[in-house]
């Protein structure tokens, strides 16, 4: 079940369910869409990703990440999504992947110094020096 919170009415509302069941996934808003990536479906660790359109009230598949990630943190920054850390079923991950919606591509970025599963991530947009 997927719900959204309306800050004007202070109520929760149900919306269309995701295409694949998952828990321990990352979720982030980018523009007017909601993205989810990775997670666990009860039998396996996931690399798949989906995007929700509130206009159509439907989910669509995205290109899967390069790595399976449960307990992944997903954050939006400067028009892109970043999947940070997580757990692949064998070990905690230090790797980071960036999703570019314009090219529909996941690209590995510099890894974290420590490998972590279940990290919390926030971003501050910085201008290039």
Homologous superfamily, domain 2-109: Kelch-type beta propeller (2.120.10.80)
Instruction: Decide: 92 and 72 in contact? Cβ < 8 Å.
Output: no
Predicted local distance difference test score (pLDDT) of residue 125: 80
Q: How do residues 63-87 score in pLDDT, each as one tens digit?
A: 999 999 999 999 999 999 999 999 9
pLDDT band at 7 (very low <50, low <70, confident <90, very high): very high
Q: Is 16 left (phi over 0), alpha (psi -120 to 50) or beta?
A: beta
| E strand map for the chain | 2-6, 11-15, 26-30, 33-37, 49-53, 58-62, 73-77, 80-84, 96-100, 105-109
Q: What does pLDDT average to over the chain?
A: 94
Identify the CA nearest to 42 among candidates 84, 18, 67, 70: 70
The answer, as to whether pTM is greater than 0.75, is yes
Domain ranges of the chain: 2-109
Predicted local distance difference test score (pLDDT) of residue 73: 96
CA 97 to each of CA 34, 75, 83, 85, 128: distance values in angstroms, whole numbers, following the listed order:
17, 11, 5, 9, 20
């Amino acid at each position: 079940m997927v719900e959204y919170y309306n800050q004007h009415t202070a109520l929760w509302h149900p919306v269309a369910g995701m295409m694949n069941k998952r828990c321990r996934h990352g979720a982030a808003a980018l523009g007017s869409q909601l993205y989810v990536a990775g997670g666990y479906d009860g039998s396996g660790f996931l690399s798949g990703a989906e995007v929700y359109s509130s206009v159509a009230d439907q989910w669509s598949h995205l290109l899967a990440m390069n790595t399976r990630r449960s307990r992944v943190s997903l954050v939006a920054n400067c028009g892109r999504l970043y999947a940070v850390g997580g757990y692949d079923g064998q070990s905690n991950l230090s790797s980071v992947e960036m999703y570019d919606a314009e090219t529909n591509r996941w690209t590995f970025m510099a890894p974290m110094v420590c490998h972590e599963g279940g990290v919390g991530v926030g971003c501050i947009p910085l201008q290039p020096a």
